[in-house]
A = this chain, B = another copy of it.
Amino acid sequence: MWQQPTSLFTDHYELTMLQASLRAGTAQRQSVFEVFARRLPEGRRYGVVAGTGRILEGLEHFRFGQEQLEFLERANVVDRQTLDYLADFRFTGDIHGYAEGEIYFPGSPVLIVESTFAEACVLETFILSVLNHDSAIASAASRMCAAAGSRPCVEMGSRRTHEESAVAAARAAVIAGFGSTSNLEAGLRYGVKTIGTAAHAFTLLHDSERAAFEAQVASFGADTTLLVDTYDVEQGVRTAVEVAGPELGAVRLDSGDLVEQARWVRDLLDDLGNEDTRIMVTSDLDEHAIAALQSAPVDAYGVGTALVTGSGAPTASMVYKLVSRQNDDGAWGDVAKAAKGKGSVGGRKFALRRLNERGRATAELVGIGEVPLADANDRLLLRQFVRGGEVLPGWTGAEGVVRATQRHHDSIQEMPGIARRLHRGEPVIPTEYVDEA
């Protein structure tokens, strides 16, 4: 997965803070950092945690090798004492958090890092990069799947985002309910299903549309998907059926008014005897376009740009805040900044989801101190991912993706039905802060 150290996916100031705290003797204070989002993107009803598995995979490669140390020295980023500290760096603390795929709300403590200040500080940027990107994609993807209902969504946005973001986006989309992706690297790394057939260039390469379809069917059989809108859609459908016969798997529409087109293409296919040939649509879809196609005879949605850009919310705006730390005498003190509009709540949190007797979520309870398990239906949300620096099994790789997909599926089932509707509103359940019991 990671073939190089992940340690410099880091803001310069993480290391200058490390230097100053090492010099001041405060670097070794035990600390609690918390990741949370102050709010959801405008109008969204819930968010989806994604990226946790990737953080744990990256944590194992969070080391400062010769190349990194030489750079830090050459660029005069930190002093010798700090370089010596980094040369031996290895995270030795604990990490808890919401399981990947879990739904979150404003104030949900989605990740809690407990270690010395030094160790938690240098992880900040990397942790936020992964969570903010992957959660933004998963949150958008989940809404698209809700709009698509039982019809499968295919992730096809690789070309619209950074080449590595594309892999993470494919992974996040699958966790949030997409059935497959076009991204081959995601298939290699995470074992997710990949699909794809042909683009307009393949038709244009050949001397005619018919020649292109014949070439594709010769290679992949009749049960393939033919792209029929390079020239004229009606002629394209007719040619596709002539070439592939009644076994033609699907036609793909990638332009024009998809609702109207899907209707008459369906009629045409049926008239030609191709009742089992499916229709896939792929032109600039987002969750609203998918919802608008609900009554059209469409069998699958390919989603690109809107998915990989978070459908208007390309980052999840999660922050990583120091909420508690020891003094020199070992006493813990909860801390919080007062900066306007950017305040935080001090203390090491617990979190649970309150469910009613029918198993439906009614509130997100967040608090400090004893966990108030008053109701047997309450579900504890914090899971342990790292113990004493060791990543616990089951959260990473292909196994982690399968588990996260299941978690997301179960969490969505638990939400009030309104969560699956697209109209803008408040978070679907409120976040309630509970005082110490």
- Interface residues of A, Cβ cutoff 8 Å to B: 3-4, 6, 8-17, 19-21, 23-24, 26, 29, 31, 33, 58, 67-68, 71-72, 75, 77, 79, 117, 121, 124-126, 128-130, 132-134, 156, 158-168, 182-185, 187-188, 194-207, 211, 214-216, 218-220, 229-232, 254-256, 305, 308-310, 314-315, 317, 320-322, 325, 327, 335-342
Contacts and interface: CB of A to CB of B under 8 A. Distances in A.
B24 A196 contact: no
A20 B129 contact: no
B20 A219 contact: yes
A260 B239 CA distance: 68
Which 8 pairs across A and B sit closest by C-beta, in order of nearness? A12-B196, A13-B196, A24-B215, A164-B164, A128-B159, A255-B339, A20-B219, A8-B185
Contacts of A220: 16, 19-20
Contacts of A315: 160-161, 305, 308-309
Nearest to A305: B315
A196 B76 CA distance: 12
Given A13-B196, A68-B188, A129 B29 contact: no
A73 to B, nearest CB: 12
Nearest to A207: B327
17 contacts: A6-B163, A8-B184, A9-B158, A11-B159, A20-B198, A21-B205, A31-B205, A124-B159, A133-B163, A162-B165, A204-B322, A204-B337, A230-B339, A231-B338, A256-B339, A308-B315, A310-B314
Given A124-B159, A339-B230, A4 B6 contact: no
A183 B11 contact: yes
Contact of A129 (B163, B168, B231, B341): B163
A338 B230 contact: yes
A69 to B, nearest CB: 11
B165 A255 contact: no
Contacts of A216: 20
A3 B4 CA distance: 7
B20 A256 contact: no
Given A67-B188, A199-B13, A133 B162 contact: yes
